[in-house]
Structure 1
C-alpha cells in the first residue's frame, strides 16, 4: 500500500515544541516518520501554519518553519524534498519518503512578489491563500464580511501561476473560492475539505464547488477532522460517505486524502495517526475495487503532481 497525504501540521508542532524529533518512534506526533512508514505513506505535504497567537505574522516566521523542515525532516537518502516532476519520479522509484512544502495563509507575504518568489525557490509548491479569516489577499471562510479576493490578491493568483505554485482552496470564503476559479488559468485543489451536503460545517465544500474542482481536473482532499466528517458520529464509515458522494458526482479520479494530522485535537476512532491508514484502506476495500482504492490513496494525487508540478 502506498499513500499520498495532502496536509499535516507536523511543522507547527515542531515549531511550538523544538524538542520533538520527527524520527523518534515515540515522538508526540500523529504523523511521525515511524507512523508514516508503518502505513506506507510515500509522499507527505507539510504545511507552514502559524498559530493564532502570532497576531503580527512576519516573513521570518515562514523562514523559521522552512528551517525546521530542512534541518529536522529532510534527510539524505531518507526524506527527499519534491520541487518538480524529476524529484517526484526520483521519490517514486526509491524507498525514500517524499516531502512537499506548503503554505497555509499568506498574511506575512504582504503582497510582496519577492517574498512569493523566495518561497518558490525554497521549495513551497502549494499555497492556501487564507486560513479561516481575511488578509490582504482574500477572505477566509470565517471572515464575517465574506468577501472575495482583493485586487492584489488576484495579482497574487497570476504570480503563483507564472511561478509554478499551485493554489489550495481549503479555508477560502465561498466568494474567494469563486474568485479563484475565475482568475486562475491553472488547476487548483482543496487539500483538506469534505462534503458540505453530508456535514454542514463552513469549511466543507458545497456540490457546486466540488463540481468546479472536478471540471478543472483539481483534487479534493477528504480530511479526517471529526467535525468535518459528521456532526455527532465521526467514524471511518462516515468518512467513506464523503468518498461515495464525490464518486456519485463523477469524481472518482479527483478524490485524494488530506488528513490534517497534528492540526487536530480529536480524532476519528481508528484513524488517530498516520500508522492507522490501513484501517481506512480496509474499509474502502469493502466497497471499492483495489484499483479504485489505490487511486484514492495515492494514484489521484500522483497523477495531479505529475501533470502540474514544474518539469525541472
Structure 2
C-alpha cells in the first residue's frame, strides 16, 4: 500500500543549510530522502514553505520564493522521479505513472506581509494550500502561542475569501482556537489540520479539542495525525507508536474514521517517536496499524482519505 504524508519541512532544511543537501542521496541528513521515501511507499508528499521567526520579516518573501525554486530545482527536477501535483488531473496521473508526487503548501501567511497579490503569485507557482499562522500572530490571525487567543483579522478574512476564490485549501494546524472557529463559521474553504493530534489524549495546546475534531468531521476535512513527540505523549522522550495509536482510536471514537490521515512533520522536528525516526519508519507504522485495525481502514488512512480530499478540492 502507498502513503500520502501531509506535511514535511524538507524545503526549510534545504534553504537553511550552509552546504547543499541532496534529496536524492540515501545518506542525506534529511528525514525525508527520495530513496527511502520510495522504498517506504510514499506516493505523495506535501512540502511546506516555512520561514522561521528568526528570519527578518523583510526577508521572508525572498525565503519563500527561494524555497519554491528549491522545490522545482532540487525535488522535482526534470519530473522523471518526482512530479509536481497542483491539480486533480495531476493527482490522478500518479496512479499510473509510478512516480512520487509533490504538493506545495505555505505554512504561515507571514511572508505575504498583508498583500493578497503574493498569495496569487504563489498560487500560480503551484501552491494549493495555506496555513494562516505558525505559532505566533501575523497579519491574518493569532497562532496557538499567542496568549490573547485572537481570531481572524480583517486581512485574515480577506485572505480566506481570496483563497476560496482561488479554490485553495485552508490548513488550521498552528491556528488559535478562536481562529479555528472563525474559519469554520466564516468560510466555505475546504479545511484540513495537516499535522495535529488529540488534546484529550495529550493536552498540548497544538492539539485539537474534541469539538474541533467533530467540526472537522462535519466539514469533511482532514486531520493529519503527526509524529511530533510532545504532541503524541508526555513525557515526549517516551513517545512511541503505541501512544500514536491512542490518538487514532480517539479520532475514530469521535466519528473521524473518514477524515483521519497522517502528517509526519519530518524535518521540522528534532526529537522523534521511537520507530518513526525518519521516512523509513512508515512501513513499521503500517505493520502496527494492520495489527490493530482492518486493512480497509488502514488503506483509507494511509492513502484514500487524503487522495479523495485532494481529488475533490484541487482545481
| Residue 254 of structure 1 pairs with residue 259 of structure 2 | yes
Distance 1:180 1:92 in 2: 33
Q: Partner of 2:271 in structure 1?
A: 266
| Residue 153 of structure 1 pairs with residue 161 of structure 2 | no
Distance 1:285 1:44 in 2: 22
Distance 1:37 1:72 in 2: 16
Q: Map of 1:90-239 to 2, 5 A cutoff?
A: 90-232=93-235, 233-239=238-244
CA contact (8 A) 2:168 2:190 kept: no
Q: Using the TM superposition, give the Cα deviation of residue 108 of structure 1 relative to its aligned residue in structure 2, in angstroms.
A: 1.7
Distance 2:54 2:229 in 1: 24
Distance 2:61 2:166 in 1: 19
Q: Partner of 2:74 in structure 1?
A: 72
CA contact (8 A) 2:51 2:60 kept: no
Task: Give the 3-state SS of the residue equivalent to 1:6 in structure 2.
Answer: strand
Q: Using the TM superposition, give the Cα deviation of residue 90 of structure 1 relative to its aligned residue in structure 2, in angstroms.
A: 1.0
The size of the alignment, in residue pairs, is 310
Distance 2:63 2:292 in 1: 44
Q: Partner of 1:21 in structure 2?
A: 22
TM-score by length of 1: 0.98
Distance 1:206 1:281 in 2: 26
TM-score by length of 2: 0.97
Q: Map of 1:32-51 to 2, 5 A cutoff?
A: 32-51=33-52
Deviations 1:210-247 (A, max 9, x none): 00000000010000000000012311011011011011
Q: Partner of 1:298 in structure 2?
A: 303
4+ runs deviating over 2 angstroms? none
Distance 2:268 2:129 in 1: 17
Q: Quick one: which of 270, 287, 296 aligns to 2:292?
A: 287
Higher helix share: 2
Task: Give the 3-state SS of the residue equivalent to 1:286 in structure 2.
Answer: helix
Distance 2:228 2:36 in 1: 18
CA contact (8 A) 1:37 1:275 kept: no
Q: Partner of 2:12 in structure 1?
A: 12
Structure 1: runs of 5+ lacking an equivalent: none
